[in-house]
Structures are given as structure tokens and as C-alpha cells.
């Protein structure tokens, strides 16, 4: 049979023509796949073919770890079974012949028995939304299979490839610390990990009330017994042992996968198919196929060719086969470093340093050394090392073999190599270093863990024996050109010269000239990248100088204040303390309010049994939808050609505006959007139509084939563009109080300033998902991942032209929301409902991460301008502030968000004369939307910035100026709301004492005097967050409570569960009111047919509103049961229920609640905006590397007033999770747009949320004691959004450190640092002799790669 290659000329394949069958074992069961598809990933196979939905899709690019599974294979040469974690989203099914795959379902379940790994993450409160939990469980499980007693460093390394957006990571590490050697005793710090305080050895004296209380008891955990693990399937063992090496072939519709059995066969195939692609780990090709639309009709998988897997030790160094994984390379090099003399292993240590920060463990386990070289990435982490070391590469084709040295002639252009057609890389030799040679490697990236480099460098110097004269010098850089480059000119000018200050000066001047970049270069950050080439050389210079002294070669000592620049960063094990008020003595054990109860779904989440929207089993005739989106920011649509798409395999229909039976206008408040763009598109990512097909792959492929012709219009992208064009939405909001003119006259000083605050992507681990099922009579049932069931129902009914009563919206749980699913979820729900209605078949869509990030908008970027008047004492007397938000192409919720920013413009400070303006900028970006804090953080950030400026201009400490201006009891806000029950001063005082602030300040100042190139900074920041929807009508909630005759209770309320523990708290409330155990109460889901017209689960107010509604319903039922309790006081709950039923009493009750006395009027600046305020204070300490801009979060102490906590475990989880999200917002996360409005950052590869390594090394969270709040359920307070802003303490600690760095260069006074304080901004602000050599290009003389929106 002839195989037709898609490009027309695939030759007759050598040998057999049929398809082999693929055998693999999944969770111990044998699976035989007769016709495996080479384009199918393991993840799709598990979820769609086998129905194992515990493994989740988070990003499809191996960057989030949600899809982690364990793969085990028998290795013939070692006769051992190898276990390793992999990303199922990248692993090709065809690469898994004769392997065992273990998924989260395979290690334990709630129904059978939990594995300790599952139990501990749940009981330690390490699972909130639960979407990332199965992946984290499997990373930990794979670690324990290889190392049953790991240390904390092993655990942190295992989690480098896993992300979590909810928990803030601390409880995950805490739960898993119990598996470690050091997890036993906490050294008397009161931690509960097998702690003497809980195993009966504690001293009998009273424990101090404000000392840490454990949130879980490790003594209750099931012991971990490594001998009881699932065995490697015996049948697979015999199959693997008996397997003769033979080639395999798998034929798909478009691709053939060939696994050759020998090097000869591989070389022959390579010559026959010169355009074939070699795939080992699929970590690069998988991305190209998925995101760059590449198609490789012939895939060669050389994974099992002995020559490509061998490791040989030679006279010159170690030779690695090109298919060796990076993990394997690491093991071999670590062994070599441990056994060989140090002078031989300089290069090996540099490779190991790069490997430690190379992607995540799951990628390193499969990515091949050869693949890293041959993909020729200009920002490769390893290629500069191989180049500077002069590694030798062995290349072979069918005619012979040659050895080339890896130097700057090897890379001939962007992703091009000096490799002949048909040649295959067989091996790479990593050489020993020699006496007198010193070698270092550096990597600078936005985030340390699992991140793509901005600049990488490797540097090697060899000296004339026993002198400091340079004999050989190689400086290799990645990220400075289209290829990895050598700075030959600089190196040549330094040969023969002594290693000293003069050489350093000349090297830097020469590098600044040689390492230039076009100001429009891809990747942007041009000034920063150029500065890094010098800074990294300076680090190398100091490291070498230090080593020369150590090796006894006469050279002057490195000055003590410069030593910290030579330190290599190694993460420290984080430690933490949580403090909360225990329930009063004598509280009934069944009354669980106030106790740290585990999230109700945590165990299910840890076993993969919790069902999310896309886990709902497939319907019989279900279809899959893929959106067709605009590639232009602003344009008229001239024509749409869907003919090719409609004729593609599996496609059922294309859906456009003409298919909408109801209205095409939509929007959460103002109907200023369309379901499908009709004649004009107003952003990149604007949904124009959709393709519906029999599978996701077919639908997405066809969507890319739809051809659209545009007539482009001038887009407005940035806030500055909008101000210039006066492009604003109405109304423009303003709040004013006091006499501004008089205030400025009274002031001793006046300063003006401005600040940009970047946007933020929600990065919920579960992207937007909807499943629409048409029913009879025009009914539509929708399973949606949304925070707003009623809004979804209303907009779907509008699009379909049916009454809302015919649309049922159901939400079981969300894998995170954070505001991103409050209104933007309707973009997808309406589209999917229209398609299901047209085809009268169930239609499903879960957006891929790149689609989700492109289409759905995020937190509003803000620009603030201020003029502030203040006295010499530091007291602020006048403020005039203007906010501009980048609203995007529709109003969405932006007006309410701007209003909240204005309501928080003074943060926690009393300003007598104040005015705030708020402008909504109409731009051609996807509409920005709600995000945890809802404008509050942006409003308060600008406030803290002018506070900092005031302190700096007066030369006072910032904490002093903040303290002078804090609100006190009885003060009034700019919107004339009087503050009562204010606890700011208590939070402030406790935060100062718990953090040891004054001692820290003294230590920081000493450290900064002693160190030139690293500086520490410290800041303390308060927050005051108003609780209530600012739209008064939303402050209402309903609940439905049903009691069945067996005494069990079904509870429903209007709030949705997205990981914040709302359902858990509602069950606690019902349990307390009904005085029955939680085990009798069940919440199934949130739906529009049980509680109608519910407000979105947002504004932190859901526990308050729904809790009061649940309380109301339960009290109604208790009243009805009262007569039966009186009649039979000794009876049980079941007796009373049965008696009431037999007496024909209604055992179902509706509860309702509305927050009293709310309603504010902007026109008169009067009325109550908020029901109450949540207060908090945080102090943070950081260390900044002034040469690279990296920073370490050393210490954070948070004191939060959450009233009487309903559940301290959940509330502390919210505080930590919110804080970490804020840490991302203010220090790490950057959305990058082109000047044409195209989003570059569309996944975890380019958009960095905080990872495990970003948590402060010491983290203390204390919930304020004795602070009951009379205005909410059981004296509690809202907790979801308020803590997020406290991460500003890290931003201002960074700014504090930069102030110290600038002082070294003689710079003082206020300076502008925009948010986020990325490594680039930090480095550029730490002006020094290196930044002077790399001045930025004049704005206006070039087109930047990206713009600040």
C-alpha cells in the first residue's frame, strides 16, 4: 500500500505497511489500541477514550502540571523499573508502547481507599478549587516511588512544573512535609507535623492564647508504607523482557509514526524522508503542532536506539547519547561531580546549575539533550554552556559520520544549523574542565522556576598556569540575537591580559558595543537585556577572582561588600506559622462553626473523583465547538469564507450571527456586545463564529481554515492612545469631599506623580467551559463553569429568544474563578447554546488556555496621576487623584470597578480634602473584567505610591508617615461613611510586634551598608476593604433547604463553589442552626431551578449573603419542628422529622436575606456604600539582586481582621491564596501586547504566575483575636478579596531596596516604579555604571515590540 504524504510525495515506506497495535497498561489494566493515532496525546486518550477524567487539561503546553501522570517502564539494560512523572498533554500516545501509566484514579479513591499522598494534601487544606490537585498528587507520588523518604529540597524540585492559583502553595508543602526526613519535629516552633505538642509529650502548662494553633493533626494521617504500592504489571514485565528490538509503525489520517529499532534503520528512513521530524519527548514538536499549526507527516521516534541512549566516560569527558533525557544527564553529572576532582567538573557544575532551573521535572524527565541542541532556540538554557565549553557533536547520515565542535558557526540563523540533509545528531561530548579553567553559567528569567530565559550566558576562562594572565576566554550568550552567540571580539581583546579591574572596565565597554540589539527586537526589554550581558560578566569576573584567591594564585581579595554578587541562588525551605482564635471552651463538638474543618470536596479533588464541567460524561450524539476569532484589533469584516472548513473531516456545521434566533446583542449590564461579531471586529480574539465538529481536534483544525477578509481601521490600544483620542465611556465618575483649594494652600509641600499598574490574567486552572443540551419545548440545559448562574440564564435566553424559565443553568464546581467567570463566561455559554439550538444536539466547548487568555480579558490596567499636599510632619491634607482604566472593547463591569477604585482611593488614610476622578478608556482590547479586588487594589496601589513619595521627599520612614495618617474610630471616608469598629490600629500594632519590625529595620540597614550588589528592603502596608456589592440591588440571596424523611438535608443556595469553601461554610452554618452533624447535610450543586435570580458569587460577600439566607431557611424549619421537639424532648432529629412528616408539615423552606440600609448616590455623595470593612496589615522583607533585578521574598507577616472566623483553615487559605495572587500582580505577572493589540502572552510559557518557589521563606498569618463583627453571619467577616492588596508590602519592600541601591550611585528622592516590579524594572531602576553603558533608544525613533497598555 502506498502512503500518500500530505505534501504529496511520501515515498513507499521501507518494510511493512500495516499499522502495529499499541499495548500499554493504565492503572494496572491492559489496553490494546488497534489503530493508535500519532496525533493523539496521552491526555486525550485518558479522558476521551478511557473516561479517566481525573487527569486535567490546564494549558496543553506542559507548563502547569495539571495533567501530570506517572509513567513506568522496564529497562532491559539495568533490569529495573523506571518511574517518572510526565505531562500527559504533551506525551504522544504512540510513544507509550509497553509502558505502564498510573493516573490519580489508580492510586486511591474515596470509595476504595485513599493513598496517603491524596489524604495529606486534602487534610492539610492544600486543595481549594482542586483542579491542580491531581497533578500535584501525581508529582508527589512519582517522587515517593523513587525516593520514599525525600527531603524538602526534593519535594520543591518535584513541584517545579506544577502551578496552583488558589492556595498560595504553603499548605501543600506543609502537608507533604510529613513525608520527609525533616518532617518529624518542628524544633519546638509549634508546628503540627508530627509535633510533640500533639503526640502527648507536651508540657502541661497553659499554651499562650496567641501562639500558633495547628490547622491539622498529622498524628491522624494514615501511615505511609512504601511496600504497599501498586506493583508493575507482571504481564508487562514479561512482555518487556521478551520483546525483541523491532521497529513499530502507527498510521494516522495525516501522520505516520515510525519507531526504528536500529541506528542504521533510522539513518535510512531519514534519507528517505528528509523532512521527517525526530521526536523523543515531544516537548518542542508538540508545541509547534498545537500552537504554530505545523504538520509533520512523518515522525521518527528514535527513543530506544541503544547508541542514542548510551552514556560513555572518555579521556576527554562524558559522551551522552542524543536521546538521553535531561533528568538522566543530571544524574550522571551529579555522580561525576561527587567523585571527580573539582578542577575537572567546572563545566559539569554549570550544566547542573542550568538543569536545575530548566522547565519542570515532568519536562526534564522526557526532553532529550539532542532535542535541546537541534531545536536551536536562541534562548536555550543549555546551548550557551555547550558552546562556551566547546562540546563536540557527533553527526551521522547513511554515508558516514563526522564530529563538529559546537561554536558560533554551528548555528547559522534563527533555528537553523550547520547540519546536512539526512544527518542525525548521535551524541554530544561534555568535556572535563582543566587545571586553571573556570566556568560559570547564568540564566535570567522573569520567574526562577520553570521559566523561559530572557538572557542566558556561559563563560569560560583559562589562565596561563599559576598566573592571572588570560590564555583563553569564551563568552557565550543566549537571548541576544537570533542564535546563541559568542562575544568573540571582546574575548580576543582580553587575551594575554591580567585578570583585574582594568580588564573588567575594557570588557564591559567592549561588550556594550558588541552585544547590541535593535530597539524593536522581538522579546522587547532591550535595555535590560543589554545591561544583563555586562552584569553577568561582572558576576563571572568576581566569581573567578574568588576562585583564584582560593586556589592560591596571587590576586587581590574580592571586597567583602561585593561577595553577595557571587552567590548562586538556592531555594531555602519555607517555614510558616498560622495563628487563629480557638473556639470557646465548652463549645459543643458538633457545632463546627469556628473550627478548621476540611473543604468538603477536598478528598474527591485529591482522587480525581470531583466532577468539573468538562468531566461530565459524553452524551451519545455530542459535538464539540471551536470559536472562530478575529486576528485584527479593529476592522470591518468584508467577507467570510467557510467552504474549506465545512468540507473538512468531522465538521458538522459553522455557526455565525445569522444563526441566532433571538438577539445578537449581549452584555452583563449594558448590551453593548455581540454574541457573534457581525460587520465589525473591535479586538483581537473577538468571536466571529464557531465550527462544530465530532471532536475538539477536528473543530479546532477547521476553525483555523476559515478565511476572513478585513478592512483594517486604526485601533486604540493603550490608555495613552485613549487619552490622546479622548476615547472614553460615559459616565466619568468623581467623588469629592472637603475644600481642595484650601487644602493645598494649607500644605507645607506639594508633589505630583504618576503610576502605571499592569493588568492581570485570571489564570484559573480550569478554563471557560460550557456543555449545552437541548431538551423538548425549546428548553436548554447548560452545565457551565460560571460564577453567575442567573446572568448566564438571562443572556442565553436572550440569544435564543426563549423565556428564562426554559433555560436551566447548573454549576457543580469551578476550577477557580477569581472574578473571571462573573461575566465573561457568558461569551462562551451564549455561543455554545446557539450552536446546540441550531443543531438540536448536545454541544461542548472548553477553551484551550491560549484561546481563553486571548478572548476573555483580565484585570484592568490602570494609570493614576496624583497631586498631594502634606505638612512637614508627614500628615497628608489634600489629594487630587485621577484614574484611567483600560476598559477594552465593551463596558462589561468596568463602571462598577472604577467606582470601587474611587471608593478605595485613600486606602486606610484619613485625608480631609480629597477629590478623585475615574475615566474608562474605550480601547480595542478584549473587554477587561472583574478580578479579585475589583478595582480596589489598583485604587489603593496609587494611594500607597503617593504615601511612599511623601515619606521619601521628607526623608522620613514610610512606616512613620503611614502610621500618622491611619484612620481612627469615628473618621469619615471621602464618600461620607462613618467608620465604626475599626481595628486598623490593632492590626498595625500586632503586625509590628509579630514581624519584629524594628529589629528587622535595623538588620536591613546593617545588611545594606555591608553589601553593594544585593540590597534588602522592608515595608508595612495596611488595607481597608469595603464589603458589599456597590450596586445595592445585588446585596440579596436566597436558599432552599429540604429535609427528607430519613433526616438527611439537601441544601441549595445561590452561591457557586470555585474553591473558596463557600459550600463548606454553608454546611457549617446549617449544621449549627439545625444542631445536626455536617454529615447529614448535602449540597449537590447550584442551579437556576432551585434558587432563582441569584447575584453572582463575587464581591467577597457570598458567605454573608448566602449564609444569612441559609440561616433564615433553617430557622423557619426549626420553628416548624418545634412542637415535635417539645412533645418528645428525648427523641432524635430523625424522630422529630418523621413525626412532622406524618403530621403533614412542609419540610421544605425558602430562605432569603438582603443587606439592610445600603444605597449610595454619586450626585449627592451620600448614603451607605458598604455594610462594613475588612482590615489587614502586612509587613514584608525582600532581597534584591541589583545586577540582575531578581528578588527573593524573605519574610511576610500578615495580620487580618476576619471577625470571628467561620472556618480558620478556609479563611487562612483565602488570606494566603489572595496574598500570592497579589504577589503575582505586583511583582511578576505581565501581559504583553503588540502595538497592533495582539496578545503575546497566551499561556504559562510566556505568562508567569507565582510558583512554589515564590512564597516568602518565612510566612506568618494571624487572624485578629476578639474582633466580632455584628453585621454578618455569626460575627464573621468577608475574606476573599481583602488580603490580595497586602502583597503591595512586597512591592514597596522592593522599592525600599531599590532606594538603597540608588543611594550607592548618588541618587535620592522620589522615582517612578510601575507595577509589576519585574526583574527588568528593578534592574533598570538600580542605576549604576553598567546601566550607563546601555542607554535606552529615544522613544519615537523606533517601533517597540510591545507596548504598556
Q: Where are the alpha helices (DSSP H) in 1168-1270?
A: 1208-1227
Q: DSSP state, 657?
A: G
CB 950 within 8 A of CB 751: yes
Q: Is 567 a catalytic residue?
A: no
For 631-765, list the strands marked E by DSSP: 635-641, 651-655, 665-666, 673-674, 680-681, 687-693, 707-712, 728-737, 749-757
- Helices and strands, number each (H, E), in the chain: 38, 47
Catalytic residue among 157, 781, 959, 1281: 1281
Pairing of strands 317-321, 424-431: antiparallel
Place of cell 550607563: 1332
Question: At 472, is the secondary structure helix, strand, or coil?
Answer: strand
* DSSP-assigned beta bridge partners for residue 82: 73
Question: At 119, is the secondary structure helix, strand, or coil?
Answer: helix
Separation CA 661–CA 843 (nearest Å) = 17
Omega prior to 1316 cis, within 30 of 0: yes
Residue/partner pairs of 1299-1303 with CB below 8 Å, 24 or more apart: 1299/952, 1299/1017, 1300/1008, 1300/1015, 1300/1016, 1300/1017, 1301/1015, 1301/1184, 1301/1186, 1301/1325, 1301/1326, 1301/1328, 1302/1326, 1302/1327
Class of residue 312 by CB neighbours under 10 A (exposed 0-12, middle 13-18, buried 19+): exposed
Separation CA 1295–CA 1289 (nearest Å) = 10
Pairing of strands 1049-1053, 1036-1043: antiparallel
Q: Where are the alpha helices (DSSP H) in 747-871?
A: 789-800, 825-839, 849-855
**Closest listed residue to residue 56, CA positions, set 19, 93, 97, 87:** 87
**Closest listed residue to residue 857, CA positions, set 685, 693, 689, 701:** 685
Cβ neighbour number for residue 1327 with a 10 Å cutoff: 18
Helix (H) or strand (E) holding 486: strand 485-486
Separation CA 886–CA 235 (nearest Å) = 61
Reported as half-sphere exposure (CB side, CA atoms, 13 A), residue 126 has a value of: 28
Class of residue 291 by CB neighbours under 10 A (exposed 0-12, middle 13-18, buried 19+): middle
Q: Which three cell numbers stand for residue 564?
A: 553577595
Q: List the 913-922 sheet strands across, edge first.
A: 728-737, 913-922, 876-888, 862-870, 749-757
Cβ neighbour number for residue 208 with a 10 Å cutoff: 8
Question: At 658, is the secondary structure helix, strand, or coil?
Answer: helix
Question: At 964, is the secondary structure helix, strand, or coil?
Answer: helix
Separation CA 373–CA 674 (nearest Å) = 47
Separation CA 259–CA 303 (nearest Å) = 8
* DSSP-assigned beta bridge partners for residue 26: 29, 101
Omega prior to 731 cis, within 30 of 0: yes
Catalytic residues: 1281
Amino acid at each position: 500500500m502506498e502512503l500518500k504524504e500530505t505534501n504529496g510525495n511520501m515515498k513507499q515506506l521501507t518494510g511493512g505497511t500495516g499499522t502495529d497495535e499499541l499495548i500499554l497498561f493504565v492503572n494496572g489494566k491492559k489496553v490494546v489500541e488497534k489503530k493508535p493515532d500519532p496525533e493523539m496525546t496521552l491526555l486525550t486518550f485518558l479522558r476521551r477514550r478511557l473516561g479517566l477524567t481525573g487527569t486535567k487539561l490546564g494549558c496543553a503546553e506542559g507548563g502547569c502540571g495539571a495533567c501530570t501522570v506517572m509513567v513506568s517502564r522496564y529497562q532491559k539494560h539495568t533490569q529495573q523499573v523506571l518511574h517518572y512523572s510526565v505531562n500527559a498533554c504533551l506525551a504522544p500516545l504512540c510513544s507509550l508502547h509497553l509502558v505502564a501509566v498510573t493516573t490519580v484514579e489508580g492510586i486511591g479513591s474515596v470509595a476504595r481507599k485513599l493513598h496517603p499522598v491524596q489524604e495529606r494534601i486534602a487534610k492539610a487544606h492544600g486543595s481549594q478549587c482542586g483542579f491542580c490537585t491531581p497533578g500535584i498528587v501525581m508529582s508527589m507520588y512519582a517522587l515517593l516511588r523513587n525516593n520514599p523518604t525525600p527531603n524538602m529540597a526534593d519535594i520543591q524540585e518535584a513541584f517545579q512544573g506544577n502551578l496552583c492559583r488558589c492556595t498560595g502553595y504553603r499548605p501543600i508543602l506543609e502537608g507533604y512535609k510529613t513525608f520527609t526526613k525533616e518532617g518529624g519535629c518542628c524544633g519546638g516552633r509549634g508546628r503540627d507535623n508530627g509535633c510533640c505538642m500533639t503526640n502527648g509529650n507536651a508540657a502541661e502548662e497553659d499554651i499562650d492564647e496567641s501562639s500558633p494553633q495547628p490547622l491539622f493533626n498529622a498524628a491522624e494521617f494514615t501511615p505511609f508504607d512504601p511496600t504497599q504500592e501498586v506493583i508493575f504489571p507482571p504481564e508487562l514485565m514479561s512482555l518487556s523482557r521478551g520483546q525483541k528490538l523491532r521497529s513499530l509503525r502507527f498510521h494516522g489520517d495525516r501522520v505516520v509514526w515510525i519507531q526504528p529499532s536500529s541506528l542504521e534503520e533510522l539513518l535510512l528512513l531519514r534519507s528517505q524522508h528528509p523532512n521527517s521530524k525526530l521526536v523523543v519527548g515531544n516537548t518542542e514538536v508538540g508545541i509547534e503542532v498545537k500552537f504554530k499549526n505545523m504538520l509533520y507527516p512523518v515522525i521518527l521516534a528514535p527513543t530506544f536506539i541503544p547508541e542514542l541512549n548510551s552514556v560513555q566516560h572518555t579521556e576527554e569527558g562524558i559522551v551522552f547519547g542524543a536521546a538521553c533525557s535531561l533528568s538522566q544527564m543530571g544524574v550522571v553529572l551529579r555522580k561525576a561531580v561527587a567523585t571527580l576532582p573539582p578542577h575537572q567538573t567546572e563545566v559539569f557544575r554549570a550544566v547542573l546549575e542550568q538543569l536545575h532551573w530548566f522547565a519542570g521535572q515532568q519536562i526534564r524527565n522526557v526532553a532529550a539533550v539532542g532535542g535541546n541542541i537541534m531545536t536551536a532556540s536562541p534562548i536555550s538554557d543549555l546551548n550557551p554552556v555547550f558552546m562556551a565549553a566547546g562540546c563536540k557533536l557527533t553527526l551521522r547520515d547513511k554515508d558516514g559520520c563526522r564530529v563538529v565542535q559546537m561554536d558560533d558557526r554551528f548555528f547559522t540563523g534563527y533555528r537553523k544549523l550547520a547540519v546536512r540533509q539526512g544527518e542525525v545528531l548521535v551524541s554530544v561530548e561534555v568535556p572535563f574542565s582543566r587545571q586553571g579553567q573556570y566556568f560559570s553559567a547564568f540564566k535570567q528569567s522573569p520567574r526562577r522556576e520553570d521559566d523561559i530565559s530572557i538572557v542566558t550566558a556561559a563563560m569560560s576562562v583559562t589562565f596561563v598556569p599559576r598566573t592571572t594572565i588570560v590564555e583563553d576566554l569564551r563568552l557565550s550568550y543566549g537571548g541576544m540575537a537570533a542564535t546563541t552567540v559568542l562575544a568573540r571580539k571582546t574575548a580576543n581583546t582580553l587575551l594575554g591580559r591580567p585578570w583585574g579591574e582594568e580588564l573588567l572596565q575594557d570588557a564591559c565597554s567592549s561588550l556594550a558595543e558588541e552585544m547590541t540589539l535593535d530597539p524593536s527586537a522581538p522579546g522587547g526589554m532591550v535595555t535590560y537585556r543589554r545591561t544583563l550581558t555586562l552584569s553577568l560578566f561582572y558576576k563571572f569576573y568576581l566569581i573567578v577572582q574568588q576562585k583564584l584567591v582560593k586556589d592560591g594564585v596571587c590576586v587581590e581579595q574580592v571586597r567583602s561588600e561585593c561577595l553577595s554578587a557571587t552567590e548562586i541562588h538556592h531555594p531555602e525551605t519555607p517555614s510558616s506559622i498560622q495563628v487563629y482564635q480557638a473556639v470557646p471552651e465548652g463549645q459543643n463538638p458538633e457545632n463546627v462553626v469556628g473550627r478548621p474543618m476540611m473543604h468538603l470536596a477536598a478528598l474527591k479533588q485529591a482522587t480525581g473523583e470531583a466532577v468539573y464541567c468538562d468531566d461530565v460524561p459524553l452524551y451519545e450524539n455530542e459535538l464539540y465547538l471551536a470559536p472562530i476569532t478575529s486576528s485584527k484589533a479593529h476592522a470591518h469584516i468584508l467577507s467570510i469564507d467557510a467552504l474549506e472548513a465545512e468540507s473538512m473531516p468531522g465538521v458538522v456545521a459553522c455557526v455565525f450571527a445569522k444563526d441566532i434566533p433571538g438577539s445578537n446583542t449581549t452584555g452583563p449590564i449594558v448590551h453593548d456586545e455581540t454574541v457573534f461579531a457581525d460587520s465589525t471586529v473591535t479586538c483581537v480574539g473577538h468571536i466571529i463564529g464557531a465550527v462544530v465538529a465530532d471532536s475538539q481536534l477536528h473543530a479546532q483544525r477547521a476553525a483555523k481554515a476559515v478565511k476572513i477578509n478585513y478592512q483594517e481601521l486604526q485601533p486604540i490600544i493603550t490608555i495613552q492612545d485613549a487619552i490622546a483620542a479622548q476615547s472614553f465611556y460615559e459616565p466619568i465618575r468623581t467623588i469629592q469631599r472637603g475644600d481642595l483649594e484650601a487644602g493645598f494652600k494649607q500644605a507645607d509641600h506639594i508633589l505630583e506623580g504618576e503610576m502605571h499598574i499592569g493588568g492581570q490574567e485570571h489564570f484559573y486552572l480550569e478554563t471557560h467551559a460550557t456543555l449545552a443540551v437541548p431538551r423538548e419545548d425549546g428548553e436548554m440545559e447548560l452545565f457551565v463553569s460560571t460564577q453567575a448562574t442567573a446572568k448566564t440564564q438571562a443572556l442565553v435566553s436572550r440569544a435564543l429568544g426563549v423565556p428564562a424559565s426554559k433555560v436551566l443553568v447548573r454549576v457543580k464546581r469551578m476550577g477557580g474563578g477569581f472574578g473571571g467567570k462573573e461575566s465573561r463566561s457568558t461569551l462562551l455559554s451564549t455561543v455554545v447554546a446557539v450552536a446546540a439550538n441550531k443543531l438540536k444536539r448536545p454541544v461542548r466547548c472548553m477553551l484551550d488556555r491560549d484561546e481563553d487568555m486571548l478572548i476573555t480579558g483580565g484585570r484592568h490596567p490602570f494609570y493614576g496621576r496624583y497631586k498631594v499636599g502634606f505638612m512637614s510632619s508627614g500628615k497628608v491634607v489634600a489629594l487630587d487623584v485621577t484614574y484611567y482604566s483600560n476598559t477594552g472593547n465593551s463596558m462589561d463591569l468596568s463602571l462598577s470597578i472604577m467606582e470601587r477604585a474611587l471608593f478605595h482611593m485613600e486606602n486606610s488614610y484619613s485625608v480631609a480634602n480629597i477629590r478623585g476622578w475615574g475615566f474608562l478608556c474605550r480601547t480595542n482590547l478584549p473587554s477587561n473584567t472583574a478580578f479579585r479586588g475589583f478595582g480596589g487594589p489598583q485604587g489603593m496601589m496609587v494611594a500607597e505610591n503617593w504615601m511612599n513619595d511623601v515619606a521619601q521627599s521628607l526623608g522620613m520612614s514610610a512606616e512613620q508617615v503611614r502610621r500618622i495618617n491611619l484612620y481612627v474610630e469615628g473618621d469619615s471616608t471621602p464618600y461620607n461613611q462613618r467608620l465604626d469598629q475599626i481595628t486598623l490600629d490593632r492590626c498595625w500594632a500586632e503586625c509590628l510586634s509579630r514581624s519584629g519590625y524594628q529589629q528587622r529595620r535595623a538588620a536591613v540597614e546593617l545588611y545594606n551598608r555591608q553589601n553593594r550588589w544585593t540590597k534588602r528592603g522592608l515595608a508595612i502596608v495596611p488595607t481597608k476593604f469595603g464589603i458589599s456589592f456597590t450596586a445595592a440591588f445585588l446585596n440579596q440571596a436566597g436558599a432552599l433547604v429540604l429535609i427528607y424523611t430519613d433526616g438527611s438535608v439537601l441544601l441549595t443556595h445561590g452561591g457557586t463553589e470555585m474553591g473558596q469553601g463557600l459550600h463548606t461554610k454553608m454546611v457549617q452554618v446549617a449544621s449549627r442552626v439545625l444542631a445536626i452533624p455536617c454529615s447529614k447535610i448535602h449540597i449537590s450543586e447550584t442551579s437556576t431551578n432551585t434558587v432563582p435570580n441569584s447575584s453572582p458569587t463575587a464581591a467577597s460577600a457570598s458567605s454573608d449573603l448566602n449564609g444569612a439566607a441559609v440561616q433564615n431557611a433553617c430557622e423557619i424549619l426549626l420553628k416548624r419542628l418545634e412542637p415535635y421537639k417539645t412533645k418528645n424532648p428525648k427523641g432524635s432529629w430523625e424522630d422529630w422529622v418523621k413525626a412532622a412528616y406524618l403530621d403533614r408539615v412542609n419540610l421544605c423552606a425558602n430562605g432569603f436575606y438582603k443587606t439592610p440600609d445600603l444605597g449610595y448616590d454619586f450626585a449627592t455623595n451620600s448614603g451607605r456604600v458598604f455594610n462594613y470593612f475588612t482590615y489587614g496589615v502586612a509587613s514584608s522583607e525582600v532581597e534584591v539582586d541589583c545586577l540582575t533585578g531578581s528578588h527573593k521574598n524573605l519574610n511576610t507577616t500578615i495580620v487580618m481582621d476576619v471577625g470571628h472566623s467561620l472556618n480558620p483553615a478556609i479563611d487562612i487559605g483565602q488570606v494566603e491564596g489572595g496574598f500570592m495572587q497579589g504577589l503575582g500582580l505586583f511583582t511578576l505577572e505581565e501581559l504583553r501586547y503588540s502595538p497592533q493589540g495582539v496578545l503575546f502572552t497566551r499561556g504559562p510559557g510566556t505568562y508567569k504566575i507565582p510558583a512554589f518557589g515564590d512564597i516568602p521563606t518565612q510566612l506568618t498569618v494571624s487572624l485578629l483575636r476578639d474582633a466580632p463583627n455584628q453585621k454578618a453571619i455569626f460575627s464573621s467577616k468577608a475574606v476573599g478579596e481583602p488580603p490580595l492588596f497586602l502583597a503591595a508590602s512586597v512591592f514597596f519592600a522592593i522599592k525600599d531596596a531599590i532606594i538603597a541601591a540608588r543611594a550607592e550611585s548618588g541618587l535620592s528622592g522620589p522615582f517612578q516604579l510601575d507595577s509589576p516590579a519585574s526583574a527588568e524594572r528593578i534592574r533598570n531602576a538600580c542605576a549604576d555604571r553598567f546601566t550607563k553603558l546601555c542607554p535606552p533608544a529615544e522613544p519615537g525613533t523606533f517601533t517597540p515590540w510591545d507596548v504598556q497598555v
